[in-house]
Structure 1
Amino acid sequence: MSRKLTNTKNPVHASEHHYVEVWLAGEWRPLGFQESQEITRREAAGETVFEIRSRGHVYVINLEHMTQTNKASGRTRTMRFTDAHTAHGAPMGFERFRQAYRAHAGEAPLTQRALSSTWPLDGHGDAPLVESTVTAMLRAMSLRGLREEVNLTEWSHYWALERDSPSFHASREVNEKLAKALKDDPRVLGRMQMHFETSLGESRASGALSHDGLVRACERLVASPERVVEKQWAAEVLERHRSGEVTFDDDADLSYFDFLNVMLGRKRHRVSLWMYDISGGRAGRWSWLLLGRQFDGIWHSGVVVDFPERSSEFWFGGKLFDSVAGSTPFGAPLEKRHLGYTYKTRDEIRSYMARHMAPEFSREKYDVLTHNCNHFSDALCLFLHNAHIPDDVVNQAEMVMSTLTARALRPLLNHWLGGFGGADGAAAQGSQVDDCLQDEVLPGAIVEFCRVE
């Protein structure tokens, strides 16, 4: 039984392979030296499906699906090629987390007692604090509802999200979906780690998963004979990819957090900072004379999130606004800066703004120096992807207002820039309140602004 390889999808040349590993009991285990040598030799010869004998058993090796199947029992395991780089733990892999787990628990489940007993103490009576910390950590790690212990896959998952996730809230959103899936299939988390690391081994140039690697992983899953829930997830990802809903930059590196979000059906949206010069070009010409330093513009900013249905621009002008990008009263942006990506939906963003940001960002609290549109953009970006906007934008008001001329204009600027959407606001005419909000704009409401030409 043998099939020749005519057009392999594996980008890693066979001469680079040093090991073959199989997924066993929640982690990668190396095959014997002779088995690895035979598989790599036959892969180099162009074979994709063939049989090997090892330890008295016959195994079917399928390099298209990257599987090893015991011919007698029918048991199939996923396999991967590795080299010294991957074997010692790729930067985005899990090997160092597994090593740490064994240091605490060996091969057994990790209990509160085991973690507490191996926790480093400095001899100053902090044992009660350690006990409380350990209890909280185990509860945060457990996705199966077992608060007194966690297994290796839960431990690795927790620390991988600590490494990759932009925030606690983002991790919680992923974990809520995974917890539901684990109720139906207790092994799905381990397999998701396996699929990620299998694809990771094909992207060793960067140590992270590429866009093409994600597509290959999904194609491999769909072609697999295994009946598992993630096979349907992979089919949906490929369908969204074909329709253009799942897109990434060609050079994008995808983390474990990204991989889980995409596989669980969440969409990644581009986040940009649109910057408007409210001086109308005068800052570039006159700022040095009037303010004592050079500014290319006096910035008003809005955060633009590119959703499939439309690009939304979120901004603060006394009220919180959700506008079609580019339709604000500030005209065309002078500069657009790419900030990153978010998996938040438009409804999630609007809900967060209404519940958590509206009380803080109001007309009464607007101040052109200490609490302006750029401070709002900075706070919103922390929610979207846990990163600040550039310092030269968020701190510009402080630099500008340090001059006597700007301080004299402070009351006028507060009235103008903090009065959009109100009875006396410059942009009230032509503004529209979204149909889903109240007809009367109350404190905490988000206004959908549309500039009338």
Structure 2
Amino acid sequence: MAGDSSYNAKLYIYDLSNGMARQLSFMMLGKQLEGIWHTSIVAYVEEFFFGGVGISSCPPGGTLLGMPDSIVDLGNTEVPRDLFLEYLSSLSGSYSPEKYHLFEHNCNNFSSEVAQFLTGAKIPSYITDLPSEVLSTPFGQALRPFLDSITITPPGSNNLNGFGQRSCNKPRGDEERVKRHKRHKWIFWLLHASSSHVSSEHISSLPVVL
């Protein structure tokens, strides 16, 4: 909190590829990508984001993704927490689980909309422009049928669509194992998604730790 009625808002940015996009994207897509971005809004000492189960929250850095790769200070807001939760409730229809789409209606669209509500600030365009960057390439188009079936929900979050109890604690576990799993799954998508031997059901059935 920055004052009696002012609250700080931050954008948490996670690279779901754990650095592999930077290493492999030019070879695969013909253009350089610095990361595969998942974002969330942190305000009122809580982290809010959108994924395959709808709008969720947890303590800052409380999902299995751990702490973000970078943080952007969005500025301060005078919106009270109760009003903010009412606002999130009003978004539950447009950000419901069935409305999630990896390219067109994802965590970054949610973060951008919430950031503008709280502070009037937009999130960086390199994040929101990422889907069009990927889909503008031939390999991105080849990947689309497979990636369209994938949803991203960081483990350790607590669903907010029903606005029930928020008692989410960061799961205990081997964080290095999670990082390896993230790298391996991302490489799997890139190297095998266009193969006739791999179906979208096969990919989407893999354990999602993104």
TM (norm. structure 2) is: 0.71
Pair 1:280 & 2:18 matched: yes
Which residue of structure 2 lines up, in the alignment, with residue 452 of structure 1?
171
- Contact in 1 for aligned 2:9/2:77 (Cα 8 Å): yes
CA distance, structure 2, for counterparts of residue 395 and residue 446 of structure 1: 31
The alignment covers a number of residue pairs equal to 169
- Partner AA of 1:312 in structure 2: E
Q: Which has the higher contact order (CA 8 A, sep 6+)?
A: 2
Structure exhibiting the larger radius of gyration computed from Cα positions: 1
Which runs of structure 2 are paired with 1:223-262 in the superposition (5 Å)?
none
Which residue of structure 1 lines up, in the alignment, with residue 31 of structure 2?
293
Which residue of structure 1 lines up, in the alignment, with residue 50 of structure 2?
316
Query: Given the superposition, is the C-alpha separation of residues 399 and 303 from structure 1 closer, same or farther in structure 2, using an over 3 Å criterion?
Result: same
- Contact in 2 for aligned 1:370/1:398 (Cα 8 Å): no
Q: Work out the percentage of aligned pairs sharing the same amino acid.
A: 33
Which residue of structure 1 lines up, in the alignment, with residue 97 of structure 2?
363
- Partner AA of 1:294 in structure 2: Q
- Partner AA of 1:267 in structure 2: S
- Partner AA of 2:82 in structure 1: D
Which runs of structure 2 are paired with 1:195-234 in the superposition (5 Å)?
none
CA distance, structure 1, for counterparts of residue 138 and residue 151 of structure 2: 19
Aligned-pair CA distance for 1:362: 1.8
Aligned-pair CA distance for 1:432: 4.5
Which residue of structure 2 lines up, in the alignment, with residue 256 of structure 1?
none
CA distance, structure 2, for counterparts of residue 330 and residue 415 of structure 1: 21
- Secondary structure of the corresponding residue to residue 95 of structure 2: coil
Query: Given the superposition, is the C-alpha separation of residues 282 and 312 from structure 1 closer, same or farther in structure 2, using an over 3 Å criterion?
Result: same
CA distance, structure 2, for counterparts of residue 359 and residue 339 of structure 1: 25
Structure 2: 5+ residue runs without aligned partners? 173-210
- Contact in 2 for aligned 1:365/1:371 (Cα 8 Å): yes
Which residue of structure 2 lines up, in the alignment, with residue 170 of structure 1?
none
Which residue of structure 1 lines up, in the alignment, with residue 113 of structure 2?
379
- Contact in 2 for aligned 1:366/1:414 (Cα 8 Å): no
Deviations 1:349-403 (A, max 9, x none): 2211112x11111222211111111000011112111222111111212112222
- Secondary structure of the corresponding residue to residue 417 of structure 1: coil
Deviations 1:116-138 (A, max 9, x none): xxxxxxxxxxxxxxxxxxxxxxx
CA distance, structure 2, for counterparts of residue 384 and residue 445 of structure 1: 22
Pair 1:268 & 2:6 matched: yes
Which runs of structure 2 are paired with 1:115-194 in the superposition (5 Å)?
none
Structure 1: 5+ residue runs without aligned partners? 1-244, 248-265, 421-425, 435-443
Pair 1:329 & 2:67 matched: no
- Secondary structure of the corresponding residue to residue 294 of structure 1: coil
Aligned-pair CA distance for 1:413: 3.8
Which residue of structure 2 lines up, in the alignment, with residue 409 of structure 1?
143
Which residue of structure 2 lines up, in the alignment, with residue 354 of structure 1?
89
C-alpha RMSD of matched pairs (Å):
2.4
CA distance, structure 2, for counterparts of residue 432 and residue 273 of structure 1: 19
TM (norm. structure 1) is: 0.35
- Contact in 1 for aligned 2:56/2:159 (Cα 8 Å): no
- Contact in 2 for aligned 1:320/1:445 (Cα 8 Å): no
Query: Given the superposition, is the C-alpha separation of residues 376 and 432 from structure 1 closer, same or farther in structure 2, using an over 3 Å criterion?
Result: closer
- Contact in 2 for aligned 1:368/1:410 (Cα 8 Å): no
